[in-house]
Amino acid sequence: MALKDFKADMERCSQCSYCKWVPLDHVKSWRFAKGCPSIAYSNFLSYSARGRYAVALSLLKGQSTITDKVVDIVYKCTTCGSCDVADKICRYNLEPLEMIREMRFHLVEKGKVLPEHTRLIEHIRKEGNMMLEPAARRGDWAKGLDVKIVTREPAGVLFHAGCRASYDKDLQETARSAVAILKKAGVDIGIMGADETCCGGRVYDMGYKDDFKKLAEQTVAVWKKAGVKTVVTACADGYYAFSRLYPKLLGAEIEVFHITQYLDRLIKEGKLKLRKRVPLRVTYHDPCHLGRQGEPYVPWDGKEIKVKNQIVVYEPRRPRYNGAWGVYDPPRDVLKSIPGIELVEMERIREYAWCCGAGGACREAYPEFSGWTAAERIEEARATGAEAIVSACPWCERNFIDAVSATGDKLKVYDVIDLVKQAI
């Protein structure tokens, strides 16, 4: 696709501004009504999906050029997809998130990129990770862990740690816990260790389509060689990349689970018993790429047609990714299985959750915006009276840890895995 392929969307955008808010039915207060962090932070219309449609159209029509401001507009977006959900409550023929990604592809093609992204991409090309760390140290998180390395011996299920969990000292223990829990549940688990590379999800979000394809092809090739059929990951970005981007762009067929789905199944099958009390009042943060963007991939290749003269539909029936079928309940069910845990919900949850701020490579390129977004979420978590915010993605958790530390807040930050570990 190219940016011009979204011209119909650009002209059909009715400028209703629903893209700025959570679905209006779900507005519960003044404080937590906003859905789009980008416009909430930057305020100009341009920073909403509606605005980006207008910017894209302006560029296509040659009415403006890619200025620094345009670059800022295009990249100061966490690609969280809140706009996509809000739009689709009522509109069936708009794909704002796809269009926003297309804008990034377009800017990358034109060489209009951010130095922070350039730095990341160059590193990924060399070292295969988002963390600006050497590839050779990728497997260090698993040192001393008794676990198969699938490139050397086959395993039933591959645990993909992801870039963040592999290198982030505060989060490595979560990855280790994941492996330990799965093993205890009798899962034939293996890891890639130092051979693991970035899933490419963030690279795709940054606009580097070709780099993503290379990374994905590389990963799939290694998996195939290692005989991997099932992948479990604790990273929402990874989950999204493997389950939605890989099939879409590579036609790859892999069985992909997020760790919370897997744990949920194990608990319900009685293979994992959580007996120790963890007395904690928690609230759960839905990661964007696991929640609203975590819907199952449905292959589709078709075209736009019109019925009843001017009703725009698609032949064959096009899947409607509006967040309805994301991974929301498994993490919650896992938490509820832990004795002593009291789960309280924030105002913005599920398909209309507020983003953590890390996505779209905003953490790297716009730390202030990213931090502000996370701080907003922390504020929302505190408003529930929870003692801890729990998520299912190391990127979310890192952003929350930094936000809590910046404010001196006492709110604890956990991954679902951390609490399961405590309960075993």
Partner 1 sequence: MAIPKEAYQALEDIVGEANISNDPAVLDCYRYPLTHTAIHLGPYYRVYTPRGAAVLLPGSTEEVQAIVRLCNKYKIRFKPSSTFWSAWGFPLEDDTIQLDMRRMDKIIEIDEKNMYAVVEPHVIGAILQAEAMKLGLNTHIHGPGSSCSCLASATSLGGLGPDTLYMGHHSENLIGAEWVMADGDVLKVGAAGSGLGWFCCDGPGPSLKGLVRGMIGANGSMGVFTKAAIKLYPWPGPATLPVTGKPPAYKAVLPDNIRAYTLGFPSWKAWADSCYLLWDNMIGYVAHRQFNMFGRDLKGAMVKILSDPTRTLYDIVELAEDPETRKLNDAMMRDYQIVLAGMTPADIDWQDKALDVILKQTGGWKVQGMMQPDLYDWSLLYMIRLGHKNLNLVYGGGYDGAFGLGGTPDFGTSAAEEGGIPRVEEVTAFKREWEKKGNIVASGGDGMMGGIGGMGGGGHGLWENFTHFDPHDKASTEGTLEFFNACSQFGIEKGWGPGMEKMNDYARWTDGYTTPKDIHDRILSAAAQPEAFRYQRKIKETFNPNDLGDAYYRTLDDPGK
Give the residues lining the site for partner 1 (CB under 8 A). 7-8, 11-18, 21, 23-30, 33, 43-46, 50-51, 54-55, 57-59, 63-65, 67, 69-70, 73, 85, 88-93, 306-315, 317-318, 320, 322-325, 351
Minimum distance from residue 388 beta carbon to partner 1 (Å): 23
Minimum distance from residue 308 beta carbon to partner 1 (Å): 5
Contact 132, 119 (CB under 8 A): yes
- For residue 316, is the peptide bond before it cis, meaning its omega torsion is within 30 degrees of 0? yes
Minimum distance from residue 295 beta carbon to partner 1 (Å): 11
Minimum distance from residue 368 beta carbon to partner 1 (Å): 12
Sheet with 341-343: list strands edge to edge. Answer: 341-343, 280-284, 388-391, 412-415
Smaller CB distance to partner 1: residue 7 or 137? 7
Q: DSSP code of 295?
A: P
Minimum distance from residue 125 beta carbon to partner 1 (Å): 30
Smaller CB distance to partner 1: residue 156 or 367? 367
Helices (H) and strands (E) in the chain, counts: 19, 11
Contact 228, 283 (CB under 8 A): no
Distance separating alpha carbons of residues 288 and 293, to the nearest angstrom: 6
Minimum distance from residue 248 beta carbon to partner 1 (Å): 19
Contact 281, 335 (CB under 8 A): no
Smaller CB distance to partner 1: residue 313 or 344? 313
Distance separating alpha carbons of residues 239 and 260, to the nearest angstrom: 11
Residue 96 token pair? 């704002």
Residue 370 token pair? 């990213």
Which among 136, 287, 132, 117 has a CA at the least distance from the CA of 212? 117
Residue with tokens 């009522």: 90
Integer distance in angstroms from the first to the last C-alpha of the chain? 48
Minimum distance from residue 320 beta carbon to partner 1 (Å): 5
Smaller CB distance to partner 1: residue 92 or 339? 92
Smaller CB distance to partner 1: residue 67 or 405? 67
Smaller CB distance to partner 1: residue 62 or 270? 62
Phi/psi of residue 64, nearest 5 degrees: -150, 170
Contact 322, 88 (CB under 8 A): yes
Residue with tokens 């290694």: 222
Which among 90, 48, 92 has a CA at the least distance from the CA of 73? 48
Minimum distance from residue 102 beta carbon to partner 1 (Å): 16
Helix, strand, coil tally for the chain in percent (to 5): 50, 10, 40
Give exposure, 350-370, as e/b (b: 16+ Cβ within 10 Å).
bbbbbbbbbbbbbbbbbeebb
Q: Is 189 in a helix, a strand, or coil?
A: strand
DSSP string of 363-392? HHH-HHHHHHHHHHHHHHHHHTT-SEEEES
Smaller CB distance to partner 1: residue 11 or 253? 11
Q: DSSP code of 139?
A: G
Minimum distance from residue 386 beta carbon to partner 1 (Å): 18
Smaller CB distance to partner 1: residue 85 or 171? 85
Minimum distance from residue 99 beta carbon to partner 1 (Å): 14
Smaller CB distance to partner 1: residue 325 or 372? 325
Smaller CB distance to partner 1: residue 9 or 127? 9
Smaller CB distance to partner 1: residue 58 or 384? 58
Which among 308, 330, 309, 312 has a CA at the least distance from the CA of 320? 312
Minimum distance from residue 371 beta carbon to partner 1 (Å): 17
